[in-house]
Structure formats: structure tokens, C-alpha cells
Structure 1
Amino acid sequence: MAGSLLSRYLDAETLGRVADRTIEPRGMVLGNLAGAHKSPLCGFAVEFASHREYVLGDDVRHIDWRLYYKRDRYFIKQYEMETNFVAHLILDISASMRYGDGLEQKLAYAAQLATTLGYSIVRQNDKVSLATFDNRVRGSIPAGNSMSQIIRMARHLDECDAVDKTDMASCLSQLNSRFARREIIMIFSDFLTDVESLEPVLQRMRYNNHEVVLFHVLHHHEVAFDFTGMVKFKGLELPEEYLTQTEDVRREYLAAFNEYLENFKQMCLRNRIEHIVMDTRIPVAETLIDYLNRRSLVKAIR
């Protein structure tokens, strides 16, 4: 049962291609387990960070005797601690995510992407949680770092039904209040929402020192508007229908879409938020490998 459920969201070939990849936080993180990522806290392990003056009660084993002979004062060596990180995966399951067929459906694509990332995070012994929302928070799986966590995530995704409108700003604000500080928040959505109302919520996440990653999942029709002839468009979140000659509206649509996308990118730049635009026509494996390559390159440069 679990195997057949996981096969809907995890592809063996994709997992094979990302098996040797790790996901590293770009800033310092706070966790409650020993792990492989830098913590802003200092202790007595791993990598030297700084000195501080000795105070009564400090362990004399950590005195820097070389510094004592130079300055005739006692100093304690401090080291950077290593910890695990927590990644919160937040998936938009509003009705607009239902657009597309098969694995090119936006919701199916985002669900597979989120589950694969969750698997990779758990495999490196870090924690992952999952939350879904439309006009309210529909469900959440608390953070965990066992492989059974991925089964719980897949089971929850399998129960999701994209039928309602979205209230993204309110839902993200509610979820943000549940998170600690210095964690990773990954949001999977088509972001067909009011950018002005969304920005303050994302700013609060950044204020709490979270690393925020937005996976902007779009169908190829939305990106290219490659329709021909007379087409009837039916609203997924609104009851309206429009019958139109696509050649007559293509230029205006693409101009409006590109303006929206540019405004969205600028909002992300202002708030130092990572923004990845994804076309569901491109296989999840290709998209994920490209993202992990770019992420590791930025880390190497820094």
C-alpha cells in the first residue's frame, strides 16, 4: 500500500539522479539535533570561531594556552556548532492548481517536486514538514526526519482536492506563526494572487530570519499562450467563461503576464527571496537538477 502510494509522488529515475545531491541552508540555522549545518550558536565542537575571556566556572580544558603566554590573560576557545535544519514545505492546493493534464497538471507537478525535495532532506537527516492550503490551511504534517515522514506526506497529498479559491496571504501568515526562527520555508504555488498583499507576509518570514524559497509552478500555456483558433476559457476559481479568438488576445496577454512576472521577481529581489519559475512541460527531474546545481553554485561562490 505504502509503495504504491509513494510511486505517485516519487519517481525512481528522479531519485537516482538527485541521490548524491545535498540541500544546504544558505544562512545559519537553528535545530535541536546534531547535524551538518552551521549554527549561530557557539559551543566546544567542530570548527574554531572566536575567543572570549575566561570567567569563573569555564572548563579549563578550553583555555588557549598559547594566547595566555602572549597576553598573560586567560581566553576560552569557542567553536561553531553544527546542527540540523528544518524545511517547511507549503503547497497551494487551490483550484487554479488543477490546470493541466497528467504530470503537467500544476498540482501534480508541485506535489511530486515537494515530495522529492522532502525525501532528499530526510535522507540527509534533516527535518521536513508539509502544509497545504487554499482559502484556509487544509492540513499539516509536523516536522520529522524519518522515512515514514515521506509516507505521511504522500498520504496527505493523496487526500487533497483542489476545488476552492486561495487566500494565500492569510494562510501563510497563519502558518508563519507556527514556525521557529532560522528555518527554511519552501512554497509551491502558481502565485495567482495579489502580490501587494503577499509581500508583507513574506517580509515577516524574512524578519524571522527564515530562508524563503518560492517555487513558481506554471503550465506552459500560461507561459507561452500557445493556443490557436477559437478557444473557450473556463474559470477554475470563478464561474466566468470566455470565448475568444486567441490570436487577437495573445499579445495583450503576454504583455500582462510578463509585467506580472517582472513585478513578482522585483518583489523577491527586494526581500532577498529565492524565486524559481517552473514550466510543467519540463520534467521534474530536469527542473530539480537545474535548481540544485544553481543552489550549490551560489553556495560555492559565497
Structure 2
Amino acid sequence: MNQQLLTDETAAKLKRFQLLAKTTVEGFLVGLHKSPYHGFSVEFSDHREYNIGDPIKNIDWKIVAKTDRYYVKRFEEETNLRCYILLDHSRSMFYGSGENTKIDYACRLAASLSWLMIGQKDAAGLITFNNEITKLLPPKAYRGYLPQIFRILAELEPKDSTNLLENLHKIADTIRKRSLIILISDLLDEPENIMDGLKHFKSHHHEVLVFHITDIQEDNFKFHGETEFIDSETQEKITVNPWQIRPDYLLNYQEHIQKLKAGCHQYQIEYNPVSTATPIEDLLLKYLLMRRKG
């Protein structure tokens, strides 16, 4: 994938979006109040520059000795939010009927969300998966962490089918502290399996947000003439006239969407169907405004 993940224009717009995010009382995207135990955690997270008024006891004197600059130790509870971005890079995510594939869009979305959250001192991490978990970066809240996230996004390759149910259960079992879980996937699995995995996160009191990435042809199925369709994950082929199967396809497709919507609504999971034709900047601004009003 050689597309630039974060253009200068996008970065400039995201800075403006960050101002909107800062107005939300409980942090970006979800309402997780700052911990009432602020400053009492013994779990070290990272450093930040010393500001007038910070407790002197939190200054890291080893850093001072090495750099002659003052930094204080920051602890996990000092972040507004701890977020895990779960990104599906199974073979179906690499489909695209236009300039952008679903994985291109998903990676830019993940990069943008990471940039926003870390920019406002929230902790962002990344977990990638296909039929198995392929990478796991735990959440951190310092700017120097972004290149690690972006590098993984840039190096993702198509492989195998999606095993959403097993992977979601495995990931849920590894995340102990209450967090925001953002799933970015084309959700090509049985809705019952998807919801079973997502419920596991809710049972651990995590907030869950789903971005369901689709291609415009998946949404509309406006192919012309006899067309060969190849299952990107099984490589099974079928040649048909699209107009003959379009009504049944759209009926099944909408049924799939409705089951996901209903399941997410039932378990208080935020479900967002997103076409790759939607500018990411518009998506983020619309969502931030919606959260601000909420």
C-alpha cells in the first residue's frame, strides 16, 4: 500500500477537528471521565514536559540529569481515554471498485483517529488481524508513538479469510482495563458471529464503536454485462448477468446490514456504515459534531 496515510491537508483539517474533540467533556468519541484516582496510579505510562504547577515529586530526575530538561512521569490514569483500534486486513478488505480499496480507506481512518487521540493526550493502540491476530501495539499517549502505528498500517498485506469471532474473543480476553474499542472491518461474516464477539467486549464494560467499511459497488451492485465474480477469500468463481441476481443480492445485503444495526443497538454499540466514497474528513467532522451534541 503506497498511498500516503496522512496528507498535509488532512493533518491541517484534523487539527481543527481536535479543537472540537477537546470540547467534549469525557474525551474523544466516548464518555469516559478522567479517573478519580488521577495521580495515584503506580502504573507508569510515559513522560511529558514539566509545566508550572506540576507536583515536584513526579519529576524524573534521571531525565533531567541526562538532558537538562524537566519531564514528569505520567501514569495511565492521567489519560482521558484508552483506545484500541482493531483493523481487519483479510483479503476481502483489499477490494476496491474505484481508486481506493477498503483497506486504503480503513488505514487512513485508523491513522486519522490515532492522530486525533494521541494529539489530545489520549492513549491509542492498534491490533491488526485476518484469520489470526497479526500485530498488537498497546495504547500509548505520546506523539512519538504515531510512526510505529503508521508503519504497521503501511505494511499491511492481504492474507486469508476473516475469523472475526475467534479474533474478537481472543482480543477481548487480553484487554483488562476499561477502554474504547474501535473495530474497522467490512464485516463479511455471519451477523450472529460478529455480535457474539462484540458482546464479549461489552461484558467487560468496554465502549465499542464499529466502522463498517463498504465499497460503492457492494452497496449498489451496478455492474453491467456478464461479469465474473471471484470470492476474494475462497477464490471461488461465478459468472452471471448482474441484473438477474441484483434484487436477491440487495435483499440479502440489506438484511445483513439490518441485523448488524439491530444487534448493535440492542447492546449499545455504536454502528457506523461507511462507504469508501465518503471523504474521511467529512466522516470525522460529522461524527465529532454528533458526539458534541450528544
Taking structure 1 as the reference length, the TM-score comes to: 0.77
Distance 1:101 1:249, change over 3 A: closer
User: Normalized per residue, which structure has more strand?
Assistant: 1
Match of residue 132 from structure 1: 128
Residues 33-44 of structure 1 correspond to what in structure 2 (within 5 A)? 37-39=33-35, 41=36
The answer as to whether partners of 1:25 and 1:85 remain within 8 angstroms in 2 is no
Query: Which of 273, 280, 289 is residue 276 of structure 2 equivalent to?
Result: 280
Partner of 2:188: 192
The range that moved more, 143-152 or 271-280, is 143-152
Change (3 A) 1:245 1:208: same
CA distance in 2, matches of 1:255, 1:8: 36
Displacement after TM superposition at 1:215 (Å): 0.3
Q: 1:289 aligns with which of 267, 281, 285?
A: 285
Q: What's 1:244 paired with?
A: 240
State the TM-score, normalizing by the size of structure 2: 0.79
Q: 246-255 or 15-24, which moves further after superposition?
A: 15-24
Which amino acid in structure 2 is aligned with residue 135 of structure 1?
N
Taking only the aligned residue pairs, the percentage that are identical comes to 28
Cα deviation, residue 85, structure 1: 1.2
Structure 1: gaps of 5 or more residues: 29-36, 45-80
Inter-CA distance 259–101: structure 2 relative to 1 (3 Å threshold): closer
The total of aligned residue pairs comes to: 249
Structure 1 residues 38 and 148, CA gap change in structure 2 (3 angstroms)? closer
* Residue of 98, 114, 118 corresponding to 2:110: 114
The change in CA–CA distance for 1:160 and 1:43 in structure 2 (over 3 A counts) is: closer
d(CA) in 1 for partners of 2:144 and 2:124?
A: 11
Displacement over 4 Å in runs of 4+: none
- Measure how far apart 1:178 and its partner are: 1.7
Paired with 1:208 and 1:198, the residues of 2 have a C-alpha distance of: 16
The residue aligned with 2:20 is: 21
CA shift in 2, pair 1:248/1:43, >3 Å: closer
Q: Distance in 2 between matches of 1:209 and 1:261?
A: 25
How many angstroms does 1:136 deviate by? 0.3
Cα shift at 1:101: 5.6
Q: Deviations over 1:257-285 (max 9, x none)?
A: 00110011000011000001100012211
Unaligned stretches of 5+ in structure 2? 22-26, 40-76
Name the structure 2 match of 1:161. 157
In the alignment, what sits opposite 2:60?
A: none
